[in-house]
Structure 1
Amino acid sequence: MRYRFTRRRVLVRACSPLALALSLAAAPAVAQTVSDAPVNLDLGSVLATATGAAADLVHTPGTAPYEAPSKAPLNSSQPTSQVTHNTISNMTTGTESFADIARLTPSVSTIDPNGPGLQESNGPVLRGFQDGQYNVTFDGIPFGDSNDFTHHSTSFFAAHQIGQMIIDRGPGTAETVGDATFGGTMSIRTIDPSAQRSVTPYGEWGSWDTNIGGVTLNTGSIQSANGTSAVIDAEHMQSNGGKTNTPQERSNFFGKVMVPVNAGTVVTVMVDYNKLFQSFDTGATAAQMAMYGSDYGNSTDPTSQGYYKYNTDHITTDMEYIDLQSNFGNGWLYDGKLYTYAYDHRGMNGVDPTQGIIAGNVVTTTGTIVSGVPLQQMEMAYRSFGTIQRLQKNLSFGDVKTGLWYDWQYNTRFQGEYVYVAGQGILPNYTGYPSPTPGNYGQIDRLQHNQLYTLQPYGQIDWKPIDGLTLTAGVKYSMFRRTMDAPYNQGTQTALGYDHTWGKLLPSAEVRYAFNPNFTVYAQAAEGFLAPNMKILYIPNPSNSNFKPETTINFQAGGTYQNQNLALSADVYNIHFQNYMQKVSAGPNSYYTNIGGVIYRGIEGEAAYTLGYGLTAFANAGYNEAFQTGTKDYVAQAPQGTANFGLIYDKDGLYASIMDQWTGGEYSGNGGTGTTATNPYANSPAVGKSPGGWYDPYNVVNLAVAYTFNHADPNRTPVKVKLNVDNLTNNKQVIFDQGYFGVNGDQLAYTSLTGISAFVNLEVPINF
């Protein structure tokens, strides 16, 4: 993933077309049955472990576990939060992304630069860990950019297709796989086919000329096909965006087929396709905000680098999988998946979108010098192929588990310098802007062909010596191999060929004790390991570097309690981050190196209580510290706390909620000492040393009201109408800066809240 908040961008072009994905769909697909298992195994109903009356409370309307926006599953063995479909369908808008849903849980923060889900999120941040330092999985499949393991919150699927999310705030056990397990896992679970056959047209209309139109088809159980069921969802969304001149348009297709082969075997096939176009917002300077207001995004002046037609993305993605889940009998359980996904991104941006009319010089192939608007064009294209294989044997003393994850991704990255010349179009910039300094802006900034091979075999034992007690021990071997064939390496603009393999054994141990079906406590110790980011290769000879992969040692303990009226959980954690990577500035020879350790520690909790008469009060919060062990400087872009609290009314078809989302203060890493002298929107830091501008805490209050007509009559269509009002208090606070721009690199670009917005949603299911 590339952040637009820096002066350079990555361009992505997708590899294979959707046809490859559809060809896979002819085979059995990776099934994702929504379960409450806190681990990200996606084993579905065949391997489900949460059973009994206490575990069923989360599916029982009116109970605290059901109504709570975020709750810890009773079988948690590490700090875990679950957001169910009930919350997603009622509290969130149709534009929102998985990042906005994850924000409902403790210690997760995210910034929507252009309104809810209307641009790629800045983040999310989990306990201070940045995107790229934790996993995101889709139906159990780890996915992301191989260059830095980051994710694109708006690029793969729509909110309407998310059945639930499970946020694991920790590395998990040996069987938790992914490129960045040490920071945790955000697990996205897609919707399953429903038991009722129906067609559901739906629409949403709201602020900034936003509209969504879609239809969902559920086949129900097809008895002539052994109970096969399917769900298909097609959706189109368009919006002008929360900032000026920042439109987005997105089309999405999702399909899932589940085929019961016999009483213990299910085959699932899933296909997802997404196409997106947007003019993105990179933030605004203090001068621009003073002149045009806090909602300034892009201009309509074609002589400006901030012209909205110069700052655009065209992104196409697809994801497909086939899964076989089977209970072979005699305690043998199996889950095997094959998958592929691709990301194709072609984009353009002004070299400095915060600037107005600044000319760049172009030397054409004939030697003629002309002037125009300096631009960059980028491409980034990759495809991954992989498999996850799991085998489990249930024995009298517990469970023995083994398996592996293998993934191969081929990634092409390009960025070049161009100039728009009136009457001639966009021409290659052979001289560079602002000067042809080597390593600064040449005609080609980067052209790389990269590959990442990942192999993670594991073994684990869950020993149950007495009733209620589970002792878990396991080990995973994490192996990463990077290869690079770069005619123009990023940072040096010189050719580079490179091939290196890293590996490490990662042990983990857990203890979980259930005092009774309603109350569980746990403790965990585990190691984490992060494959080196591509940034370490942006030097003339990476083979001479003594860079070490980043690792963590994690210690966590907590507990969860649930009954009909109360859902309660709490945990504490201490994480020692070793070999922390940071950029060392040395002009055109800037590079990344290890600078020592970081301590992450904190306390988190969730609670929901039913007050009667359909009312439920809820709250969750996280207090988070992240600081370097040597200097004691706080880590930038790590809010020092989060909280969500409010009330829910859910009775007789009426659902209403009001929620206050609070994000603690944080340092941006920019803005000098964090004083108003260097950063007009920063304040003096409250505590600790400042690694950049300090931004004060802020609150956003969200309201949701929904009513389901005919909710008590199974013979009539249950039409649902919903109103979401986000940022009810119209808070437009500047909450972050996105880095330096300007000819001299001395202008900060800021992001502010987008102000109040309202969206109305209508769903009309038609049973047949």
Structure 2
Amino acid sequence: MRTKLYAGVAFAALMIPVSAFAQSTGTIEAEGQSEEVVVTGQAGPREIGGVQIPDQPKARAVLTQEFIARQQPGQSILETINFVPGVNFTNNDPYGTSGGNLRIRGFSGDRVSVTFDGIPLNDSGNYSVYSNQMLDPELIEQANVNFGATDVDSPTASASGGTVNYRSLMPTDEMSAIAVYTRGTYDFNRVFGMINTGELTKFGTKAWIAASNETYEQFRGYGELSKQQFNAKIYQPIGGNGDFIALAGHYNRNRNSSYSNPTSANIRTLLGTSVVPATATDSNPFTLDLSNEQYDQVFNNRDSGVTGPYDQFCSPPSANVAFGNAAPQIDATSCANSSLTAINPSDTGVMRLNSRFELTDSLLFTFDGGYSFTRANGGGSTVFNESGVPVGTVGGVPGDNNYQGGRLTGGVDINGDGDTLDRVRAYYPSNTRTQRFVAIAGLRYQIDPNNLVRVAYTWDRARHRQTGEASLLNSIGRPYDVFGFDGETDRPVLDAQGNVLNKRNRLSYAILHQVSGEYRGKFFDNRLNVNLGVRAPFFRRNLSNFCYTIAGQSSDAYCTSETPAQVGINPVRGQYGAPYQNRVETYSAVLPNVGFTFDLVDRLSLFASYAKGFSAPKTDNLYSFGATRVSTGAYIQPSFDLQPEKTDSFDVGLRYNSPIFTAQAGAWYIYYKNRIISSQVPEEGSTNLINVDRNVGAVKSYGFDGLVSVRPVPQLSLYAFGSYIKTELQDDLIDLRNNTVIPLRGKEVVETPQWTYGGRAQLDLEPFQFGIEAKHTGDRWVTDVNDFAVAGYTLVNADIRFGLTDIGLERTFLQFNATNLLKERFFGSLSTQQGFSNNPRLNLGSPRTFTGSIHFEF
């Protein structure tokens, strides 16, 4: 068996912690308690096949680089933790660049805190997690999951459903280099390289720098996906007691073509009502379970009007006319389903600082800091009417979704052909720019070897700028820039006053101040370990909306050059909410975080914990405009009345740790109140349906999960896991459209399988190593009223590694990976809806893929 050394970021090379499993340097220090231990399987947390079970009060699991490295090169770390109980991640393509959906114990990804070297990654506005922007897997030392609970100093205002934390590799003492090339199905090409500098100075300064590039074609439809990533880290030890400063940088660039996925109605059109019925009810629900032949018929269909992908080519009539052509050019039916505007570009970066300073023998100071930025949009297009004559009505906004002259008198020649007779398609994405600063400072005081206390303070400030400006398409229907106009490039679409047409224009600040404290004690000859903690977040959103708020619209708005009098005289737009600046909403909570472990006998321990979670309303929740009458004559709950979501999470279980066998089994219960959802209501005096965000009650969930790792002989490691989740909504929903009750009480949470289970086996017969893994995901509800579900599925992956030591290349090997080896047909991410009649959209799952890699290391 090889000996492995695991060095966490909180200690220098001479001081290695027992458990570097938490997110902040302060928590790593508290859990490790400065014990000088080499993790070899004889002390500290055991590792078998890259799986560790830390002996902490919370239910937690850890995957190390040993496990991560066997997965598909370039894969998102969120796909890798799919092999942790309680986690369900649906990847939108086989290589991870198209994103995916995360759920932990029934909580969606926007209710789970994800951190990178202690720095939060969730979007500051909507808390979303973007799995395609994660660190290259070769650079991740370990990833850990807290099920339904946070650490006491977790820097978050949104973690009502648990945490995912991953940490980057430490630079090595010796100079080395790694180069990996991977080639695979769908023209997948990836290159990764890393250089470790070794010790650069007599003071022990060391660093690494890494870069990667990958491109591939969609597995269905037209378009290319690409990702470039650059990373670097420098580490400076200070003295010989474990103090250090580490500075790291990460930049990620994605250019993605989006997949077109069918709705339930699309599938019905193709396969008929005998396969997909026209109606379903909660008393007679429908489960979509297609045969292989039926699924392949949907997958292989190329009619974009049925279930096919986006159109590959596009030629808008308005972009292909000469000046002086007096004939109307109509784009309404051209380029509406184009792959050229169905894109999802993003540029992101994260700078991280981690540090540790021993002030006295008993007093320790830690500081983590970060700066991050994001620029991204989700593509899209719309049609503008040059003449200013409304053409239809959609969502209360007249005329082909948007129109020109209704905002100002007169028309504008958008396409430059000399008339104002055309209906011109334009690129119309919703752009977001974010800049964020984070600081986490902690003090730990070691009272004696068995008792310590610590306090921490977190400051997190994010500036969130959101616009939706229109710009022209070229002659083949492609935007001139993937980010559109976005305040920078040329070719905007202007109104009669020379202003860029815009569907939203708003600025918000998300500011978190948080204090936390914790006591850790050891009793009865260290058999009992007690953690008593509390954190108190004070969260503020400062909101400015420079456009008029449309009732029921939390994203798009009415942006205009009209005067308030011109807007107010219109019977529809006069009801819109006026622009405003510096509206402030504040939220706070006191969140206990306690637990214990007790050694029952040698290697067997009992653990239990309680943690209170908290998730403040999102930006979109607060930008919605609810103070309006609906057809029942009642006023909708104003968005500023929304209360934070809160959870009470309880865990109890047993752990066993030995050199050849580790296991954890536990039961849990979560009570989740003030759940926020969006629902549709009719605006008074109109047939328009509007979306309203509001609190709708509580959810109870409970379950059990377990994992076991065993190494019966040095050459073989086995890992298995399983999870059962039962969720139950506690309240019905009042449908304000007709003042009726929507029967949600007793229903289960969408997109949450009751059963998930799987495992991995790895055999090491040098120079060959073989691995095979599988996971079963049970049936999932697609609708809130539980009248529509999709069938469960089982995915099998395999990997083979062949070392080249025999030909003199000691650290070089070939690796082959297969995902979805048995070619399972399944639906992945689900666009959930209230009911079957709302026509949910279903993501087609990734087919079988193969890759081959060569890994050089010097």
1:530 maps onto 2:640 in alignment: no
| Secondary structure of the structure 2 residue equivalent to 1:522 | strand
1:116 maps onto 2:175 in alignment: no
| Secondary structure of the structure 2 residue equivalent to 1:310 | coil
CA contact (8 A) 1:464 1:471 kept: yes
| Secondary structure of the structure 2 residue equivalent to 1:87 | helix
| Aligned residue in 2 for 1:255 | 232
1:214 maps onto 2:298 in alignment: no
How far residue 231 of structure 1 moved from its aligned partner, in angstroms, is 1.2
CA contact (8 A) 1:372 1:422 kept: no
Q: Deviations over 1:6-32 (max 9, x none)?
A: xxxxxxxxxxxxxxxxxxxxxxxx979
Q: Deviations over 1:28-49 (max 9, x none)?
A: xx97989634432235986662
| Aligned residue in 2 for 1:232 | 209
Q: Quick one: which amino acid aligns to residue 69 of structure 2?
A: S
How far residue 333 of structure 1 moved from its aligned partner, in angstroms, is 1.9
Q: Quick one: which amino acid aligns to residue 63 of structure 2?
A: V
CA distance in 2, matches of 1:41, 1:337: 7
| Aligned residue in 2 for 1:752 | 844
1:692/1:194 Cα in 2 relative to 1: closer, same or farther (>3 Å)?
farther
- Residue 387 of structure 1 is aligned with which of 439, 449, 471? 439
CA distance in 1, matches of 2:426, 2:840: 19
CA contact (8 A) 1:571 1:604 kept: yes
CA distance in 2, matches of 1:655, 1:561: 27
| Aligned residue in 2 for 1:400 | 453
| Secondary structure of the structure 1 residue equivalent to 2:68 | helix
Q: Deviations over 1:217-244 (max 9, x none)?
A: 011233x331111111111111113222
1:721 maps onto 2:823 in alignment: no
| Secondary structure of the structure 2 residue equivalent to 1:220 | strand
State how many pairs are aligned.
Answer: 693
- Residue 300 of structure 2 is aligned with which of 293, 303, 317? 293
Q: Quick one: which amino acid aligns to residue 359 of structure 2?
A: F
1:262/1:724 Cα in 2 relative to 1: closer, same or farther (>3 Å)?
same
1:456/1:362 Cα in 2 relative to 1: closer, same or farther (>3 Å)?
closer
List runs of 5+ in structure 1 lacking aligned partners: 1-29, 353-357, 432-441, 671-689
CA distance in 1, matches of 2:259, 2:478: 23
CA contact (8 A) 2:609 2:651 kept: yes
How far residue 584 of structure 1 moved from its aligned partner, in angstroms, is 2.3
1:565 maps onto 2:660 in alignment: yes
CA distance in 2, matches of 1:560, 1:32: 26
Q: Quick one: which amino acid aligns to residue 540 of structure 2?
A: R
How far residue 476 of structure 1 moved from its aligned partner, in angstroms, is 1.2
1:162/1:225 Cα in 2 relative to 1: closer, same or farther (>3 Å)?
same
| Aligned residue in 1 for 2:288 | none
Q: Quick one: which amino acid aligns to residue 526 of structure 1?
A: A
CA distance in 2, matches of 1:598, 1:430: 48
1:506 maps onto 2:591 in alignment: yes
1:322/1:728 Cα in 2 relative to 1: closer, same or farther (>3 Å)?
same
1:732/1:424 Cα in 2 relative to 1: closer, same or farther (>3 Å)?
closer
| Seq. identity, % | 16
How far residue 669 of structure 1 moved from its aligned partner, in angstroms, is 2.2
How far residue 514 of structure 1 moved from its aligned partner, in angstroms, is 2.6
Q: Quick one: which amino acid aligns to residue 368 of structure 2?
A: K
CA distance in 2, matches of 1:318, 1:32: 25
Q: Quick one: which amino acid aligns to residue 250 of structure 1?
A: K
How far residue 577 of structure 1 moved from its aligned partner, in angstroms, is 0.3
| Aligned residue in 1 for 2:776 | 662
| Aligned residue in 2 for 1:451 | 509
Q: Quick one: which amino acid aligns to residue 545 of structure 2?
A: A
| Aligned residue in 2 for 1:622 | 723
Moved more, 133-142 or 364-373: 364-373
- Residue 191 of structure 1 is aligned with which of 153, 164, 169? 169
Q: How does 1:596-635 map to 2 (within 5 A)?
A: 596-612=697-713, 614-630=715-731, 631-635=745-749
Q: Deviations over 1:127-154 (max 9, x none)?
A: 1100111100001112221112112111
CA distance in 2, matches of 1:182, 1:46: 24
Q: Deviations over 1:694-716 (max 9, x none)?
A: 011100000011122228x9x85
CA contact (8 A) 1:484 1:499 kept: yes
How far residue 656 of structure 1 moved from its aligned partner, in angstroms, is 1.2
TM-score, with length taken from structure 2: 0.75
Q: How does 1:102-251 map to 2 (within 5 A)?
A: 102-121=81-100, 123-222=101-200, 224-251=201-228
- Residue 89 of structure 1 is aligned with which of 69, 77, 94? 69
| Secondary structure of the structure 1 residue equivalent to 2:84 | coil
CA contact (8 A) 1:38 1:168 kept: no
Q: Deviations over 1:340-378 (max 9, x none)?
A: 0111114422569xxxxx988864515823235575322
How far residue 465 of structure 1 moved from its aligned partner, in angstroms, is 3.0
1:400/1:308 Cα in 2 relative to 1: closer, same or farther (>3 Å)?
same
Q: How does 1:41-120 map to 2 (within 5 A)?
A: 41-43=24-26, 49=32, 56-57=39-40, 65-73=46-54, 75-90=55-70, 92-120=71-99
| Aligned residue in 2 for 1:680 | none
1:496 maps onto 2:580 in alignment: yes
| Aligned residue in 1 for 2:318 | none
1:469 maps onto 2:543 in alignment: no
| Secondary structure of the structure 2 residue equivalent to 1:377 | coil
CA distance in 2, matches of 1:98, 1:77: 24
Q: Quick one: which amino acid aligns to residue 481 of structure 1?
A: R
- Residue 625 of structure 2 is aligned with which of 532, 535, 539? 539
1:763 maps onto 2:775 in alignment: no
TM-score, with length taken from structure 1: 0.83
Moved more, 482-491 or 556-565: 482-491
CA distance in 1, matches of 2:674, 2:403: 43
How far residue 491 of structure 1 moved from its aligned partner, in angstroms, is 5.3
| Aligned residue in 2 for 1:341 | 372
| Aligned residue in 2 for 1:24 | none
| Aligned residue in 1 for 2:274 | none
| Secondary structure of the structure 2 residue equivalent to 1:270 | strand
CA distance in 1, matches of 2:53, 2:301: 38
How far residue 524 of structure 1 moved from its aligned partner, in angstroms, is 0.9
Q: Deviations over 1:698-742 (max 9, x none)?
A: 00000011122228x9x854112110000011112234543689x
CA contact (8 A) 2:97 2:254 kept: no
1:42/1:519 Cα in 2 relative to 1: closer, same or farther (>3 Å)?
farther
CA distance in 2, matches of 1:470, 1:189: 25
1:718/1:118 Cα in 2 relative to 1: closer, same or farther (>3 Å)?
same
1:38/1:387 Cα in 2 relative to 1: closer, same or farther (>3 Å)?
same
How far residue 521 of structure 1 moved from its aligned partner, in angstroms, is 1.8
Give the RMSD, CA atoms, in angstroms. Answer: 3.3
